[in-house]
Amino acid sequence: MKIGIIICARYKDCGGGKCFRSVRERKGGFAVYPPAEPLEIVGYSSCGGCPGGNVEYVPEEMVKNGAQAIHLATGMVVGYPPCPNIRRFKAFIEQRYGVPVAIGTHPIPKKYMEVHRKLPFWQETKMSEIVRALMDESEDIKKDYD
């Protein structure tokens, strides 16, 4: 399975350590892939900054490189505020490029989850509905990703 990852531009200098670790460990957004199925990252880029200019063309490059799915990184969920365009990005990429888009890469770190659960924005935007796979991890795993 070949995968592209799009991160939030706030973290454009991120080395991707948690994302790549979660690929290896099949945690968070990558838990859906069978352990025996090889995963290959074929693209890693930022959204380009609000309102997401790179989302128009970066997925095309990923698909040309064989991407069969694109993951919008967990940073788009746990940054504050969470990405206001995440649902739009998912819908656009799936419609335009015909590949499934998963929201999330690594598990939500415990320290972020504890804060977000207390903030009204998290509930108002119904973020927990779109990141269920990231929230299914145990508290120990969430802490391990702090």
Pull the structure tokens for residue 139: 């508290």
- pLDDT(133) > 80: no
- Residue 97: what pLDDT? 97
Q: Burial letters for 55-89: b for 16+ Cβ neighbours within 10 Å, e otherwise?
A: beebbeebbeeebebbbbbbbbbbeeebbebbeeb
Q: 13 falls in which pLDDT band (50, 70, 90)?
A: confident
pTM to 2 decimal places: 0.92
Note the pLDDT of residue 101: 97
Range of the domain at 87: 2-144
Among 40, 45, 39, which Cα is nearest to 59's? Answer: 45
The enclosing domain of 107 has a CATH number of 3.40.50
Report the number of distinct structural domains present in the chain.
1
Residue 111 sits at φ, ψ, to 5 deg, of: -65, -35
